[in-house]
Amino acid sequence: GAYSASPGIELVRQDVARFLQRRDGVAAKAEDIFLSTGASDAIVSILKLLVSGEGPSRTGVLIPIPQYPLYSAAIAELSAVQLNYYLDEEHCWALDVAELRRALAEGRRHCCPRVLCIINPGNPTGQVQSRQCIEDVIKFAFEEKLFLMADEVYQDNIYAEGSAFHSFKKVLFEMGPPYSEVVELASFHSVSKGFMGDSVGPRGGDGDATDPSGLLVLGFPSQTPIHGSHLWVPVLGFPSQTPIHGCHLWEKTAVLNALAHKARLTQEIFNKSPGIHCNPVQGAMYSFPRIELPPRALAAAKEQGQAPDMFFCMKLLEETGICVVPGSGFGQ
């Protein structure tokens, strides 16, 4: 019940810094890290810093479609401009820089694009970006002077053979100057996602700010929850010399192996079902299948004044009791 410093408990931030240094092989400082009530609050806080202007000078924020609805909600609340770039379903929801350029050019007609949001591994699409893709995105942000926001809360959840997680911070610093000296980056991780949990119970998140000017001032109106902050310990991992290290590693491995099995099962069953196609679930906790509705279903949806995906979801709920979100809830 005690108050903490606004950016979070110093000891926990030092632990997070050591974790990031081990993960990336790049120096990390506790003063560059702030703890929050889940990654969502950290993302909104950064967006608040970056949004400004009115009319044609309003801040534009590029977000992936399909998207995690946190982004569209936060952008609307802050009166910024949402700029959609579409992931390539035919290539396992890959991010195409040509599509980023299209979205940026379109956005510049009516606002001032300043921010590029990346979700890797993907939510709700479950893809994992290649290192080459991340390098291309960093070069794009450098050329277009965009602030990068890297949502990496599912970084432990990698399932597909040949897929690997590469943090934007690690790739940025390995690319070296001029990129590492110029590109501004905020990356996000979370206790309430990944292998520990999924949005429920105690919440904890962190943001790591990489600012070449050496100064990033963050103003927070509330305190960081203390017990949520301490949950970072099992996420970061226990030192190898501690008695609990082996038990923790066994449990983490078991959870991730079970999730990988379910990811493969989901993909296989969807693709065996008539009219359904699902890309490989490379990571995160999501599949985003495409469902082809027959002409009579499309006609029935039109008669009822419903979008076809909403019509399907309501029928599924009524006939099976299964509740799902229509694809349009994610922008596609």
Backbone angles phi, psi at 9, to 5 degrees: -65, 130
SS3 content of the chain, % helix, strand, coil (to 5): 45, 15, 40
Beta bridge partners of residue 63, listed in sequence order: 84
Q: Strand runs (DSSP E) across the chain, as ranges?
A: 33-36, 59-65, 81-86, 112-119, 147-151, 185-190, 205-210, 276-277, 290-291
Residues whose CB falls within 8 Å of the CB of residue 285, separated by 6 or more in sequence, listed in order? 123, 126, 154, 157, 193, 198, 259
pLDDT score at 222: 47
CB-CB neighbours of 118 under 10 Å: 24
Confidence of residue 60 (pLDDT cuts 50, 70, 90): very high
Instruction: Give the mean pLDDT of 122-142.
Output: 96
Q: Work out the mean pLDDT of the chain and round it to a whole number.
A: 88
Burial of residue 121 (CB within 10 Å: 0-12, 13-18, 19+) is buried
pLDDT 10s digits, 13-46? 898 899 899 999 999 999 998 888 878 888 999 9
Confidence of residue 97 (pLDDT cuts 50, 70, 90): very high
pLDDT score at 229: 66
Query: Taking CA 293 as the corner, what is the angle to CA 288 and CA 294, rounded to the nearest 5 degrees?
Result: 160
**Which residue intervals of the chain bear CATH 3.40.640.10?**
10-236
pLDDT score at 56: 94
- Answer with the residue of higher pLDDT: 209 or 314: 314
Instruction: Give the mean pLDDT of 223-232.
Output: 64
pLDDT at 205 over 60: no
Distance CA 229, CA 131 (A): 30
> Nearest CA to 207 among 181, 232, 195, 189?
189
Confidence of residue 204 (pLDDT cuts 50, 70, 90): low
CB-CB neighbours of 58 under 10 Å: 19
The region of weakest confidence among 99-108, 241-250, 259-268 is: 241-250
Instruction: Return the top range by mean pLDDT from 3-12, 56-65, 152-161, 323-332.
Output: 56-65
Residues whose CB falls within 8 Å of the CB of residue 193, separated by 6 or more in sequence, listed in order? 39, 153, 154, 199, 285
Instruction: Give the mean pLDDT of 71-82.
Output: 95
> Nearest CA to 151 among 131, 113, 173, 124?
124
Give the orientation angle of helix 308-320 with respect to helix 295-303, to 10 degrees.
90
pLDDT 10s digits, 160-197? 989 999 999 999 999 999 999 999 999 999 887 777 76
For residue 167, CA distances in Å to 83, 174, 329 come to: 24, 11, 28
- Answer with the residue of higher pLDDT: 202 or 250: 250
Say how many residues make up the chain: 332
Is it true that domain 10-236 has CATH number 3.30.70.100? no
pLDDT score at 37: 80
pLDDT score at 117: 98
Distance CA 244, CA 235 (A): 13
